[in-house]
Structure formats: structure tokens, C-alpha cells
Amino acid sequence: MEEDDERPEADPWRDRLSRSLSTWKSHLTELPMLVLLAFFIAVVIKTFLVQAFFIPSQSMLPTLHPGDRVLVEKLTYWIDPPQQGDVVVFEKQVFGEAPDVPWYLDVRDFLRELLGLPTGREEDYIKRIVATGGDSILYTGRPRQLFVNGDEVDQSYVRGGRDRFSSAITRDDCQRIGMRPGDDGCLVPAGKVFVMGDNRGDSEDSRLLGPIDVDKIVGKAFVIIWPPGDMGSL
């Protein structure tokens, strides 16, 4: 006489639970690699393609307001030189050695920069190019008029539409800011650009710093992404 088969019956619910747990374990194992891959992609994009920047000051009013976030693309100037009218981000010149900070603050600031958030240690400026290498520039009169190569340049983007009292640039200022005088004003050296803030009365720009090395330009700002009400191209 054959003995009855006493093997336990399969439990479908237990099988489903086991498969689910196995799937979750697999996902958890993959998660660190996915996070590292996403971080690597973000770093590559920030370094070579596009970066978000936080606007910390009033120097570009009314075009840009404090707290705005803009996207800066880094490919254009690999192909074409900077042009008059471009709004650019460039590295702030640091006199002496930059202060040393703990590594974890560097990591924190890097992550905040990825999101276009303020770090409290911003080391970049954003200004508008008004003249490029080889151009001559004058900024004079009352209201101030901008002349590049002897031709007046439209300044409809300037805060208030007119600038009456901010720093002028005449032939007498050329040597002070590292430029040579020419027939039509101060000559911008090759490989440099002359930048000014749209809020001319509250802007630390080439009138004080002198022309900026093209190599110091991080990229060209092309769109406002925050706040939503101000979203739009530059």
C-alpha cells in the first residue's frame, strides 16, 4: 500500500512575498550605484554644459533681481568669442590667498551650487559685456552715454532708462584701469572684455576692476528659471 504524499502545499501568498522581498533587496543593492551615477552626471553637466547661478546683489537691476536663479551655458564660448551685449558670469578676482575652509563646507557648497542655491561665499560676478578686445570705450556725459568705437550704444536695459551720476570712463581713466588711450576712448586689450552692471550706480564692474580676461568667463547666462513669474530668456 502506497503512503500518502505528505509534502506541504505551496503557499502563493508566501511566494509573492518572497519575490517582493528579493526585488526590494535588488533595488537597495543598486541604489548606491544609481545615486553615484546621477551625481556624476550632474557634475559633468555643471562642469561642461549648464550651471545654475544665484543672483546675490542688485548690480543687474532691472534685468536680474536679488534671489533670481539663472542658467549659464558653457559651450558657446568654446566655439565663438564673447559678444557685446552678452550677460556673462565670470570668476571674481581674489586678492591674496582665498580662505581655507573645512572639506565638508566645500562639499556642502558644491551641492548647493548644483541647485543654484546661495552658499554665502559667492565667488562669481554676473555683468553685461559692453565692449570686447580691440574696441575703444567711453562712458561720459550727463546723462551718461556709452560710446564703443565712437558710436553711441543703446542702453535701454539700464535701470531707470538713464544713468546720470555713476562712474564715468574717459581717456583720463584709461591708465588707472589697465587700458591704453585711443582716439575714441580707452582701448580694451585683446583677450579681454569690458563689463558693466545694468544698475550702473550700484555695480562693481570694469570701471573699477578693469577689463576681464576672457579665460575668467564661466559662461553665458541665457534664461531666468526662478522665480516662476520672472522666467524668460535673457
Catalytic residues: 59, 127
Strands 192-196 and 212-213: antiparallel
Buried b / exposed e along 82-115 (16+ C-beta atoms within 10 A): beeebbbbbeeeeeeeeeeeeeeeeeebeeebee
What does the pLDDT read at residue 97? 47
- Backbone phi, psi, residue 190, to 5°: -60, 145
Give which of 232, 222, 226 is closest to 89, Cα–Cα.
222
Strand, coil or helix: 41: helix
Which DSSP state fits 46? I
Find the largest Cα–Cα distance for the chain: 120
Q: What is the distance, to the nearest Å, from the Cα of residue 18 to the centroid of all Cα atoms in its chain? A: 50
The class of domain 55-104+122-233 in CATH terms is: mainly beta
Q: Are 70 and 225 in contact (CB under 8 A)?
A: yes
Q: What is the pLDDT of residues 148-206, one digit of tens each?
A: 999 999 999 998 888 989 999 999 999 999 999 998 999 999 999 999 999 999 999 99
Give burial (CB, 10 Å; 0-12/13-18/19+) of 224.
buried
Q: What is the mean pLDDT of the chain?
A: 82
Q: What is the pLDDT of residues 52-85, one digit of tens each?
A: 888 989 999 999 999 999 999 999 999 999 999 9
